[in-house]
Homo-oligomer: A and B are copies of this chain.
């Protein structure tokens, strides 16, 4: 159970976009800032665009911006859009019928993790450096 690079790189690029929400970053700028090769970064940005987390400006002088107020975008939303659903359970096997305890525990964990991730906004992450320090590094 590990986040893939898509999730990590995706969150990283969202950070750089959120830092300057009013300026347009080109793919090559974002590739440089994040340290991720351009074609792969482009793929990730494509996903983020389809999920309406980034906006694009096409043509010359175009590029990418964050689609919405970073205060309204949660870490959970970003990760789910790139990692697929964080759904852990998957009760196959006739074993787990109506009241399967394994299934219920997975559903519980699933909800808790998502709640947790949705409590943290992209904006808080940007602020992290300064005022959130103490709540983050315990």
Chain A residues proximal to chain B, CB less than 8 Å:
1-4, 7-8, 11-12, 15, 33-36, 75, 79, 83-90, 92-96, 99, 101-102, 104-109, 111-113, 116-117, 120, 125-126, 128-129, 136-138
Contacts and interface: CB of A to CB of B under 8 A. Distances in A.
Nearest to A3: B88
Contacts of A117: 109
Nearest to A93: B35
Given A86-B1, A111-B138, A116-B113, A125 B99 contact: no
B1 A33 contact: no
Nearest to A13: B102
B11 A102 contact: yes
Contact of A75 (B3, B105, B136): B105
A102 to B, nearest CB: 5
Given A93-B35, A95-B34, A104 B1 contact: no
Contact of A105 (B83, B108, B113, B136): B136
